[in-house]
A and B are shown apart, each in its own frame.
Chain A
């Protein structure tokens, strides 16, 4: 019994069974795979709510917008993903342009405010977020704040502001700038940013640095502030938000998107997931939990602590035109990546 080869076989069997035990980690026939670039905690709430109501299992792969968008494009028709959720829209547009998205169920589209979904109906807005300038209240007063996002390229802002250029959030803001002002102006702005701004890894880290007086201000999205305020406020107590408004590039409202992959083998379940996310259950989570992102469902309410979406005076930008590849190329050219 204890001959070495039988012991070896036993060990192998044991390991194999352990892996079989963890098979739920791999995509299984019964559930769907979501490639998730949205915040992990928000998607987790969505997944839990959806699974609880429908019994459909969901496996989540986490990553960033552009990473997963490009990944799906490379995976093509054999992508294991059924659903793609983004923080911002450029990566969704990338996948859409590669003709990899299936049309969404009309019932899903009908749940979302037409202002927050592209007309062709290949994907849909699931939440929204506003660009803001977070600043340290002890270091800047109202008068000194930049009037426009473009002001941050001026020499007087040298070494005084921060952003997270490797993050999809900031890249979405740049793609909007590109759509509004064109390639030359955007590259010039990015080059000025290379000189003026300090690069951090992640929006929350930018806010933390502003809060700790390491830097005067930073370009982030609004909800990092509200999220921290709802917890201990430890990383935002010295900060305030400045909304650019007046249709400035810095008032850009970015749309988080959701789409079903044309290659999905579980289309029905995948469609059901997006229907749930854009429906009452999913949009209520945006209002009641600590994500502080804007709800985009028809008649859905956002968290009352937020400045209402309609008051932000955002620039009118067609989300389906935002170009993530060009953006990354320009940022690489400017030396930010």
Chain B
């Protein structure tokens, strides 16, 4: 899910929360699964294990003594402290802001709720490192922990907002009514009835935010806040793929695994749906009145000003001062073309690779299949820099013909973003009746043909949504592209990065604008999707 700077995994969070389980598939009795399907899904999952396997192999090869010398040193402690502090401070703020905004836009009579709701998601259209570009060019002294926390909240609180708003929309107001009838005051009602219902949203969104905090590079590099990811990049710049960088990557991967298992252990298995017949009635919005309405409006205004006002203002300022000349930059348009190409090819490849896994998970769920899916989820939650570093070392040492080729970078994108495609595709396949596929097979189609001619056509909207999400993740990806790109490659993200490194903010502005424009449709899609899954 997270790559440094990708800001589009919210969809995954929404999908995780709103589709806790896919519909069980009809299994065709007495027929074996087509070999190519299970084979290719196994292959993709084995590929997904490459980065983790690589870290383990490298650690063994490096030898305990060197590993210990590189891992147990003050610098690693410092990075661990910085990174943990960042997570510990950012997460509660993200949760508080996300839930406050979600409650206000879903449950109160705040004026112009739809507008505020759209504005709460809109920061996702701005890549994280563009947020920090906007702030640093407005306030040059902006740096360190406080800056990192503020910017992280701004860039990532929609990951909490989205699932929380969806959950609030679906929630049956009868529960709260009963609590009120039993004499609970409004605040206690919120704490004891509403908040527990948001647990999945908070846990899932929180995990996503934390993984992004660990993976992000550009945002923190620009404001002089060192995390594991920035330190790995520094080491890479100083020694290509030396043991020190690889060991830092190992520690970072461990941190991610720790977060993943902590989330899995605490998620719990409580029920969140209403029990009994009938359907929930519409919620009556809570009246805020003047006393609460004004501060609520101010909160919304302040959030919009910080999350969108600052980027729009600074971007507008640099675009204005750059004038038409900034657009005549002869590297800009090739970068756009390169980005579109990488995005399109990566999205197509990722969705194709996800088809067997998605089909199996709907039509023939099994323990092995779930294990394979797990491999893909874990790898995609590792920071892009870890996957990229692994692929650099592997291709240069063992797969030289693949080294520095488009294929390798597409493989990295595939490993990083596969779950995005998987989730949408699975939802699509689940909606295509299995009977039609079986009918096609009984009429003489081979399994593959039946899948292609019937199910995949019906699942096309899901596949398209998955492709869009992968496409946009790729177009904002920075670190993996920097490490793996073939000679002469320049994407919008790397071009933007090169310009900001020379503090040429004017030349960087058109790159930033193009990235925002590319991300806008997805943000709209997310907004639309979260409304639809809530049944409105």
Asked whether, in the complex, the Cβ of A4 is within 8 Å of the Cβ of B140, the reply is: no
Within 8 A of A (CB), among B316-348: 337-338, 341, 344-345, 348
Asked whether, in the complex, the Cβ of A27 is within 8 Å of the Cβ of B501, the reply is: no
Asked whether, in the complex, the Cβ of A70 is within 8 Å of the Cβ of B488, the reply is: no
Asked whether, in the complex, the Cβ of A337 is within 8 Å of the Cβ of B234, the reply is: yes
Q: Is B293 an interface residue (CB 8 A)?
A: no
* Majority secondary structure, B binding face: helix
Within 8 A of A (CB), among B400-421: 400, 403-404, 406
Asked whether, in the complex, the Cβ of A25 is within 8 Å of the Cβ of B487, the reply is: yes
Give the CA-CA distance A71 to B238 in the complex, in Å. Answer: 11
Asked whether, in the complex, the Cβ of B141 is within 8 Å of the Cβ of A67, the reply is: no
Q: Is A247 an interface residue (CB 8 A)?
A: no
Given contacts A15-B348, A80-B487, A212-B141, contact A166 B234 (CB under 8 A): yes
Query: Nearest residue in A to B485 (C-beta to C-beta)?
Result: A61
Q: Is B95 an interface residue (CB 8 A)?
A: no
Give the CA-CA distance A18 to B342 in the complex, in Å. Answer: 11
Asked whether, in the complex, the Cβ of B337 is within 8 Å of the Cβ of A22, the reply is: yes
Give the CA-CA distance A200 to B453 in the complex, in Å. Answer: 56
Give the CA-CA distance A235 to B235 in the complex, in Å. Answer: 28
Give the CA-CA distance A291 to B241 in the complex, in Å. Answer: 30
Q: Is B78 an interface residue (CB 8 A)?
A: yes
Asked whether, in the complex, the Cβ of A75 is within 8 Å of the Cβ of B396, the reply is: yes
Asked whether, in the complex, the Cβ of B404 is within 8 Å of the Cβ of A80, the reply is: yes
Stretch at the interface among B114-122, B220-228, B307-315, B439-447: B220-228
Asked whether, in the complex, the Cβ of A5 is within 8 Å of the Cβ of B452, the reply is: yes
Name the one of B78, B241, B489, B502 contacting A335, with C-beta atoms under 8 angstroms: B78
Give the CA-CA distance A200 to B223 in the complex, in Å. Answer: 9
Give the CA-CA distance A177 to B425 in the complex, in Å. Answer: 58
Q: Is B46 an interface residue (CB 8 A)?
A: no
Q: Is B498 an interface residue (CB 8 A)?
A: yes
Complex interface: chain A residues within 8 A of B457 (CB): 4
Q: Is A331 an interface residue (CB 8 A)?
A: yes
Give the CA-CA distance A19 to B348 in the complex, in Å. Answer: 14
| Interface size, A (range) | 35 or more
Asked whether, in the complex, the Cβ of B240 is within 8 Å of the Cβ of A204, the reply is: no
Asked whether, in the complex, the Cβ of B487 is within 8 Å of the Cβ of A26, the reply is: yes
Q: Is B237 an interface residue (CB 8 A)?
A: yes
Complex interface: chain A residues within 8 A of B341 (CB): 18-19, 22
Asked whether, in the complex, the Cβ of B237 is within 8 Å of the Cβ of A202, the reply is: no
Q: Is A193 an interface residue (CB 8 A)?
A: no
Complex interface: chain A residues within 8 A of B70 (CB): 332
**Closest approach, in angstroms, between the C-beta of A121 and any C-beta of chain B?**
26
Q: Is A254 an interface residue (CB 8 A)?
A: no
**Closest approach, in angstroms, between the C-beta of B154 and any C-beta of chain A?**
21
Asked whether, in the complex, the Cβ of B488 is within 8 Å of the Cβ of A25, the reply is: yes
Q: Is B25 an interface residue (CB 8 A)?
A: no
Interface 0/1 of B211-232, CB less than 8 Å to A:
0000000000110101000110
Asked whether, in the complex, the Cβ of A337 is within 8 Å of the Cβ of B75, the reply is: yes
Give the CA-CA distance A25 to B485 in the complex, in Å. Answer: 10
Q: Is A198 an interface residue (CB 8 A)?
A: yes
Q: Is A256 an interface residue (CB 8 A)?
A: no
Q: Is A40 an interface residue (CB 8 A)?
A: yes
Given contacts A27-B487, A208-B140, contact A74 B396 (CB under 8 A): yes
Q: Is B244 an interface residue (CB 8 A)?
A: yes
Give the CA-CA distance A5 to B449 in the complex, in Å. Answer: 9
**Closest approach, in angstroms, between the C-beta of A279 and any C-beta of chain B?**
25
Q: Is A205 an interface residue (CB 8 A)?
A: yes
**Closest approach, in angstroms, between the C-beta of B275 and any C-beta of chain A?**
44
Asked whether, in the complex, the Cβ of B238 is within 8 Å of the Cβ of A74, the reply is: no
Q: Is A120 an interface residue (CB 8 A)?
A: no
Give the CA-CA distance A115 to B502 in the complex, in Å. Answer: 30
Complex interface: chain B residues within 8 A of A306 (CB): none
Asked whether, in the complex, the Cβ of A337 is within 8 Å of the Cβ of B231, the reply is: yes
Asked whether, in the complex, the Cβ of A4 is within 8 Å of the Cβ of B488, the reply is: no
Asked whether, in the complex, the Cβ of A19 is within 8 Å of the Cβ of B226, the reply is: no
Interface 0/1 of A182-221, CB less than 8 Å to B:
0000000000000000111110110011001010000000
Asked whether, in the complex, the Cβ of B501 is within 8 Å of the Cβ of A202, the reply is: yes
Name the one of A69, A201, A331, A336 contacting B224, with C-beta atoms under 8 angstroms: A201
Complex interface: chain B residues within 8 A of A71 (CB): 240
Complex interface: chain A residues within 8 A of B240 (CB): 66-71, 74
B residues whose Cβ falls under 8 Å from a Cβ of A: 70, 73-75, 78, 140-141, 143, 221-222, 224, 226, 230-231, 233-242, 244, 337-338, 341, 344-345, 348, 396, 400, 403-404, 406, 452-453, 456-457, 486-489, 498, 501-503
Give 9 A-B pairs besides A202-B503, A204-B501, A212-B140 with Cβ atoms closer than 8 angstroms. A25-B489, A26-B487, A26-B488, A40-B498, A60-B487, A80-B487, A199-B224, A208-B503, A337-B238
8 contacts between A and B (CB under 8 A): A26-B406, A26-B488, A39-B502, A64-B238, A71-B240, A201-B221, A332-B70, A332-B235
A residues whose Cβ falls under 8 Å from a Cβ of B: 4-5, 11, 15, 18-19, 22, 24-27, 33, 39-41, 59-64, 66-71, 74-75, 78, 80, 165-168, 171, 198-202, 204-205, 208-209, 212, 214, 235, 325, 328, 331-332, 335-337
